[in-house]
Amino acid sequence: MNRKNVLFLIVGIFLAWACGSKQQSNSKAIDKLQEATIDGKNIYQRECVLCHGEEGDKGVAGSAHLTQSSLTLEERIYVISNGRGIMQPFKNKLTPGEIEAVARYTQELKR
Ligand code: HEC
């Protein structure tokens, strides 16, 4: 290999590395953006109203009244992720960011 080729190779490797790491930080930025724009209320109305009701006090089939719940954010995230009783787990249906957003929304239902 002559010197010119070696130089091209080095530049090539450098570009591949630079592009690769740039792409990664871009997708991280997109993740952050999505997290910030996830609408917990929207998810709640789509996935949870059926049992818990608009106001969180419907109580279908013994659904806990979210208006009365004293669970912490972490505990809510756990219940929503893993389910409890007849409530199915949501960890395969919602992303961690969506679960956190909807958990935060359930805290707003507290009276
Ligand atoms: C199929 C009906 C059903 C759906 C859909 C459902 N839940 Fe539940 N949820 C329940 C029932 C029933 C319980 C009580 C479980 C138990 O304690 O045995 C419960 C408990 C909870 C609790 C714990 C409250 C406490 O104080 O113990 C939270 C938080 C919760 N649900 C949030 C949600 C969220 C958020 C969604 C939507 C992503 C959701 N649930 C969807 C039926 C449902």
Q: Residue 100 in contact with residue 66, Cβ under 8 Å?
A: no
| Strands, E assignment, the chain | none
Instruction: Indicate whether residue 29 lines ligand 1 (CB < 6 A).
Output: no
CATH number of 39-111, picked from 1.10.760.10, 1.20.58.220, 1.10.1040.10, 3.40.50.300: 1.10.760.10
Beta bridge partners of 84: 87
- What pLDDT is recorded for position 67? 95
81-102 pLDDT, tens per residue? 999 999 999 999 999 999 999 9
3-state secondary structure of 83: coil
The full set of domain ranges for the chain reads 1-37, 39-111
Tell me the CA–centroid distance for residue 45 and ligand 1, in Å.
13
Tell me the CA–centroid distance for residue 80 and ligand 1, in Å.
7
Instruction: Give the whole-angstrom CA distance, residue 107 versus residue 111.
Output: 9
Among 63, 69, 88, 104, residue to substitute to test ligand 1 (most atoms within 8 Å of Cβ)? 63
Task: Determine which residue's CA is closest to atom 34 belonging to ligand 1.
Answer: 48
Q: Which residues of the chain have pLDDT under 70?
A: 1, 3-25, 30-36
- What pLDDT is recorded for position 70? 94
